[in-house]
Amino acid sequence: MKFNDMKYEKLEVEDIIEKISSLNEKFNKAETKDEVLAVYKEYDEYSKYVQSMYHIAYIRNTIDTTDQYYSEQKEYWNNTFPLIQEASQKFEESLLNSKFRKDLELEWGNIMFLNMELSQKAFSPEIVPMLQEENKLTAEYQKLMASFQVEFDGKTLTMPQLFAYSQSPDKDIRKSAVEAISSWMNDRKLELDRIFDSLVKVRTEIAKELGYESFTQVGYYRMNRNSYDEKMVKRFREGVVKHIVPLTIKLKEQHAERIGVEKITAYDTFFLYPQGNPKPKGTPEEILAHGKRIYEELSEETKEFINFMIENDLFDVLSKPGKAVGGYCAEIPIYNAPFIFANFNGTVSDVNVLTHEVGHAFADYTSKNIYPTALRRYSFDIAEIHSMAMEFLTWPWMEGFFGEETETYYEMHLASALEMIPYGTMVDEFQHHIYEKPDITIDERNTLWLELEAKYRPWLHNEGIPFYEDGRLWQRQTHIYTSPFYYIDYCLSQIIALSFWALSQKSYSDAWEKYLRLTRLAGTRTFVDLIENADLPSPFVPDNLKLITDVAVEWLDKK
Ligand code: ZN
């Protein structure tokens, strides 16, 4: 069905809650396994329907923000979501406590139950006031950061606008752009410290109330870590220090040489090529048309998928007045329809939509027949494999975007994928220390960050830039404030994506086969099981990371 023909039905939150509660009652009264299965199926279908209505409203609102009706609908959903979640949680509780649980586990496997247990472990009614406090604080941080505005180059600029100047070939311009950002942050450091102090305090209280030693455990439960623990993540970090960091030092030396500086400072990090970063050729329409060609040629599966997306108008990627900013991939589950939203602007980010977001959409499409729907939901560490690996698996078609700049694009993509890993790992290690010792002072915290910089990014020189040289760069990392322990997910997915890249250098068809197998399994396995099932090296064995860096070094040396 075409997106415009999909019918939106306005729902009232009271009706949704009543429906879920009545299903819950029916579930608890069921006396046979078949009855229980039948009620669950009804719940599954109803949840899909509710989610579809929410996503249709959300998508239509972002396509045309001036449409009053969908703007109101989206707002209504945002306000009522926690109430619906509460009702669903009660239903899940019944599922966990059902006398038929053993039978259900036999039928569906136990991962659904494992995940539900994890989310229950991070919650109890006693912590509700603390959660509200936590939300209030994260909202304060977001509001503070959103208020960013500075006078620069004769204009009033937002953070992304100013960021563009940090890529200028003129060293003085990019230096003053970075200084403008850091001095704005520096003027607000007391506020940033106050919010973070309170966040660490309330999160530690939440952990104590739930009966855990530190917030780290709660953070792991919140992130749905169902197959690896702190010790394994520590081993992963060791592998990063041992194998990825030395390679990134080498890459940064090349970077410095290329742009003609002696050492890389904060204001050089985004200026990568003296001739400018590679840009896709052609109009946004031509870029989109090449995207279609890629998936038609890649495999039978992607061909079917891309035709489904195009026939049903499930792409809205060209810029139009009234559209919201940004890009995303969302699904309308009752039609098994992924939807991709973006604003093409003729830069490399358009290509990213056609590889990264399409990776997410393809994963949705390819797992559409899995039941229960809960098995199609996965944590971020799995979701980002689908997208980041697709970025690499579409390399053979990049020439159609970048022409003579293709080699430069490859190099930029590979280097940025590798360089993001030490940074993300550092963000992760920082948070482990913070929640282990929640009482350390502000200075100790910043010193800790500087020590980690020296360990993970020894090539970076921030002397002379206030705020950065004081060890406060972490205060710009939203996730540290709003989504604790999120960052390592990106790093793990990136490592797996790079494993697919390394494999594709040897045998493309082998890499694609494995990718397809992993994607089709969706959330029916844990992260660790999926990797094992796809026969990929575990990132939790430090020396396995060498398998990737060896191929990368070989590839880079050939250039
Ligand atoms: Zn993504």
The answer to whether residue 44 is domain-embedded is yes
Q: Is 147 part of a structural domain of the chain?
A: no
**Buried/exposed 241-277: b ≥16 CB within 10 Å, e otherwise:** bebbbebbeebbeebbeeeeeeebbbbbbbbbbeeee
Parallel, antiparallel, or unpaired for β 337-341 and 328-332?
A: antiparallel
For the purposes of burial, counting CB atoms within 10 Å of the CB of 132, is it exposed (0-12), middle (13-18) or buried (19 or more)?
exposed
Cβ-contact 36, 95 below 8 angstroms: no
Q: Give me the domain span that covers residue 9.
A: 3-123
Q: What are the tokens at 76? A: 């209504």
Q: What pLDDT was estimated at residue 526?
A: 97
Between the two ends of the chain, the Cα-to-Cα distance in Å is 47
Distance (angstroms) between ligand 1 centre and the Cα of 142 equals 21
H/E segment holding residue 151: strand 150-152
Helix (H) or strand (E) holding 502, with range, is helix 487-506
The answer to whether residue 276 sits within a structural domain is: no
Q: Of 546, 452, 445, nearest to 495 (Cα)? A: 546
User: What is the pLDDT tens value at each position of the chain, 559 positions in all?
Assistant: 999 999 999 999 999 999 999 999 999 999 999 999 999 999 999 999 999 999 999 999 999 999 999 999 999 998 888 789 889 989 999 999 999 999 999 999 999 999 999 988 998 889 989 998 998 999 899 999 989 999 999 999 888 788 888 888 999 999 999 999 999 999 999 999 999 999 999 999 999 999 999 999 999 999 999 999 999 999 999 999 999 999 999 999 999 999 999 999 999 998 999 988 899 999 989 999 999 999 999 999 999 999 999 999 999 999 888 998 888 999 999 999 999 999 888 888 899 999 999 999 999 999 999 999 999 999 999 999 999 999 999 999 999 999 999 999 999 999 999 999 999 999 999 999 999 999 999 999 999 999 999 999 999 999 889 899 999 999 999 999 999 999 999 999 999 999 999 999 999 999 999 999 999 999 999 999 999 999 999 999 999 999 999 999 999 998 7
- What confidence score (pLDDT) does residue 162 get? 87
Is there a domain that residue 108 lies in?
A: yes
Q: 52 alpha carbon to ligand 1 midpoint, in Å?
A: 20
DSSP, collapsed to helix, strand or coil, labels residue 350 as helix
CA dist 482 and 145 (Å) reads 12
Q: What is the domain count for the chain? A: 1
Residue 103 maps to a domain: yes
Contacts 24+ apart (CB under 8 A), 347-351: 347/279, 347/280, 348/277, 348/278, 348/279, 348/280, 348/409, 350/280, 350/284, 350/287, 350/317, 351/280, 351/287, 351/398, 351/401
**CB distance 132 to 206 below 8 Å:** no
Convert 519-557 to b/e letters by CB count within 10 Å (16 or more is b).
Answer: bebbbbbbbbebbeebebbbbbebebbbbbbebbeeebe
Ligand 1 center–CA 448 separation, angstroms = 30
pLDDT of residue 301: 97
For ligand 1, the distance from its centroid to the CA atom of residue 387, given in whole angstroms, is: 6
In order of 82, 85, 203, the CA distances from 128 in angstroms are 12, 14, 12
235 part of a folded domain: no
Alpha carbon of 388 to ligand 1 centroid (Å): 7
Length of the chain: 559
The answer for residues whose C-beta is within 8 angstroms of residue 64's C-beta and 6 or more apart is 70, 322, 323
- Quick check: is 414 in a domain? no
56 assigned to some structural domain: yes
Compute, in angstroms, the gap from residue 14 CA to the centroid of ligand 1. Answer: 33
Burial of 287 (0-12, 13-18, 19+ CB in 10 A): buried
Q: Determine contact, residues 185/472, Cβ cutoff 8 Å.
A: yes
For residue 303, how far is its CA from the centre of ligand 1 (angstroms)?
A: 21
Q: Give distance in angstroms: CA of 360 to centre of ligand 1.
A: 7
Give distance in angstroms: CA of 240 to centre of ligand 1.
22
